[in-house]
Amino acid sequence: MRIRILLLLVITIFSPNLFSQIPSAQKLIVTIADSWSSNKATIYLFDKTKEGWKKKRLEIPVSIGENGLAWGVGVHPQQEGEFMKKEGDKRSPAGIFELDTVFYGLDALAPDGVRYPYLPLTELTRCVDDSNSTVYNSIVEEDSIKKDWNSAERMRAVAPDYKDVLVVKHNPRREKGKGSCIFFHTVNIPTSGCTSMDEDDMLTILHWLDPKQKTLIIQLPHSEYHRLRTEWNLPTLFNN
């Protein structure tokens, strides 16, 4: 019995505290694909109410990684399987992720009515995808830091895709080779690992977000969502 209790304590200390993550969130962005290899998916938006999670009456069609999904690094427990996220695999990360506290875009100001903090992209804004860099998987201004990378996205040049960019906090500890520069952005075509959508749908999400409310992103194939729904305390999807 003592050994069992000790094992539970070890798991609690060294595993992400998933059971405190979902209940502590006020909003969920749930992205569901048909399978691991599908590059199309649907977003469902949930708000927490006194009665539990309430799904908004809309479904947003999106594109994800060209090659589908793979387990990423987020606030969910570490997973194992055939599909594990790697740099350059053209797969979007599967799992549960936090949302960055700001979003970026090409315009000087945020869209009207959006409350979420905004930073305009400059000619020097880079997202570093070189695994050997000390700022791997970070957005930096090239003139504000010593350059130690061989490759990075020139974010302002990615137009019109980066008209508005929400940053998914995938691989937050910047583990080498586990994937970088994961965003929600516009232009609804399969991506290198981001989630893309039509501009009107991006604006819907931006207007729905509230900087005072914690938002989590959940991305999974339908089969995994169904398998993990009870264990991870996820809301029920229609036709689940």
Q: What percentage of the chain has pLDDT greater than the value 90?
A: 88
Q: What's the one-letter identity of residue 36?
A: W
**What secondary structure does DSSP assign to 125-192, as a single string?**
EEEE--TTSTTTT-EEEGGGS----S-EEEGGGSTTGGGEEEEE--STT--TTS----EEEES-S-BS
Q: Does residue 41 lie within any of the structural domains?
A: yes
For the chain, the domain total comes to 1
Q: Does residue 182 lie within any of the structural domains?
A: yes
The CA distance from 132 to 81, in Å, is 26
The CA distance from 149 to 161, in Å, is 23
Helix (H, G, I), strand (E, B) or coil at 3: helix
- Using CA atoms, how far residue 235 sits from 14, 21, 45, 47, 197, in Å, is 26, 13, 11, 10, 23
Whether residue 55 is predicted with pLDDT greater than 90 in this model: the reply is: yes
Q: Does residue 3 lie within any of the structural domains?
A: no
CATH of the domain at 192: 2.40.440.10
Q: Which structural domain range is residue 113 located in? A: 21-228
Q: What DSSP designation does 6 have? A: H
- Using CA atoms, how far residue 107 sits from 96, 151, 153, 159, 162, in Å, is 29, 25, 18, 11, 10
Q: Does residue 55 lie within any of the structural domains?
A: yes
Convert the pLDDT of each residue in 91-149 to its tens digit.
999 999 999 999 999 999 999 999 999 999 999 999 999 999 999 999 999 999 999 99
Q: Which residue has the higher pLDDT, 14 or 131?
A: 131
pLDDT in the model for residue 18: 56
Q: Does residue 111 lie within any of the structural domains?
A: yes
- Using CA atoms, how far residue 13 sits from 24, 118, 216, in Å, is 18, 35, 21
Asked if residues 198 and 190 have their Cβ atoms less than 8 Å apart, the reply is no
